[in-house]
Amino acid sequence: MTETGPTRVAADSQLARITAAVLFIALTFGLVVPDVIDAGLVALVLLGLGWLLSTGEWRRPQLSRAERVYVMMPLVYTLAWVMAWILHGGSPAGVSDLERLPNLLAIVPLFLFIRRVEGLEPAWWNGLVAGAFVAGGYAIVYVLTGQESVHGARVTGPTNPIYFGGIALAFGLMLIPRLADDRVTNGGRLLVAAGIVLAFVASALSGSRGAWLAIPAVLAIYLFTAGSGQPLRWRLGVPAIVLALSAVVLTSPLLPMSERLDETLFELNVLEDGGNAERGLGLRVQLWEVAGGLIAERPLTGSGPGGYERALAESVQAGEYGAHLLRYGHPHNQYFSALIDGGLGLLLALLALFAAPLLLVSPVSRRYSRQCRYLAWCALAGGVVLAVMALSESILERNDGMIWFAMLTATATSLANGSATRRTNAVAAD
């Protein structure tokens, strides 16, 4: 927070209005309309690059030490991955991964630009609420009309149930401080509450379970960040309400999550008895066993991109696993994927990438105004959900996972830090 007199994009400027509109549209429709989130990320990056180049701000970004570390992490991870790919022979299997990496690098211009644009907060909050409504409505209609895909009756959105359900849940969790925000009218709070419920319902109808593991950690963080300074009834009441809502959604016979939980318990019993479960958890255990064997062979250097597919094919040919596993090109765990692709070095780069947005907004989440803390909370909640999703899905090995990671973390951190910086400068000017 050491800027002095930085160039700003005024809230009433045409550029700021276009940026706000793009952000709102991307959040509103990104979970249900194909390619909207991709186009939104590209549009914001192009707007940012145009402004940075035309003003010369790319040469003088005036970043604090924490901000410099943050913008370096996508570059570090990308460099670590490319080096691992080259050192392991530049396998053709890694070309598709290489083509996705620019999505991760989008974090840099996005952060540098949005932190300088004033007046984006309404577009952010309204976009989250609208996105929750659209996702929830879409999921309910999907189920009521009896639609099905390769995932059965699970709601997929434009990608698959993992991303639709996980990101919808992140939307709901990011919204919870708005329930206690005294800047929001009573009618606005009702809309926020409805949005949170619909986001949770959308996630439940997706049948995706992994992201829900983030809720206890997220709510514990809430007590000491966004909840700090709130009246006790809100500080404790909001997490209690969210926990109650989670319990209802997870156990209601009207929603598929109760069936999915029963399935998980059954699979755990089968696995405990030494059997092979063949549904979601059981398949992952088999994929993780293959990954574990590969990691044990080369824990420091990894086997390189494409190594997992080869090891899986060899295991199936040897009769150790069924041929149905061949449709999976990664181990459904981003941490295992990093160890396989580049060994310990790439894993450390991945952990730094996931930790960077959390560490950047941590001071903002405990100090400054409610406005700053609530925006910082979005970065914390979204970052934790994505890091937990990475335990059961290789999110950076899919285009949509990388785009959502870039969009949510870069936007939330830049809004929070930009707000804190403006407040600091205003106090110093007084």
Residue 243's nearest CA partner among 164, 176, 155, 195 is 176
Q: What is the DSSP string of 161-174?
A: HHHHHHHHHHHHHH
Report the distance separating Cα 227 and Cα 219, nearest Å: 9
> In which domain, by residue range, is 364 found?
14-257+335-429
Q: Report the pLDDT value the prediction gives residue 262, as an integer from 0 to 100.
A: 67
Query: According to the model, what pLDDT value does residue 266 have?
Result: 65
Say if 71 falls within a structural domain: yes
pLDDT along the chain (430 residues), means of 10: 66 97 98 96 97 90 91 97 93 88 95 95 97 97 89 87 96 94 92 97 90 94 89 90 90 75 67 60 86 93 91 89 84 96 97 96 84 93 97 93 96 91 53
Query: Does 20 reside within a domain?
Result: yes
The reply to whether 74 falls in a domain is yes
pTM for the model: 0.93
304 assigned to some structural domain:
no
Rounded Cα distance between 109 and 296, Å, is 38
Flag whether 372 is in a domain. yes
What's residue 230's pLDDT?
A: 84
In a domain, 314, yes or no: no
Distances (CA, A) of 116 to 53, 79, 145, 419: 14, 27, 45, 9
Total structural domains in the chain? Answer: 1
Find out whether 127 and 26 touch, Cβ atoms under 8 Å.
yes
Q: Which residues contact 187 (CB under 8 A, 6 or more apart)?
A: none
9 beta partners: 117
Say if residues 206 and 154 touch (Cβ distance below 8 Å): yes
Place of tokens 């996005």: 110
307 in a structural domain:
no
The answer to whether residue 329 sits within a structural domain is no
* Cβ proximity of 29 and 134 under 8 Å: yes
Using alpha carbons, list the distances in angstroms from residue 12 to 17, 102, 120: 7, 31, 11
- The answer for residues whose C-beta is within 8 angstroms of residue 356's C-beta and 6 or more apart is 69, 70, 73
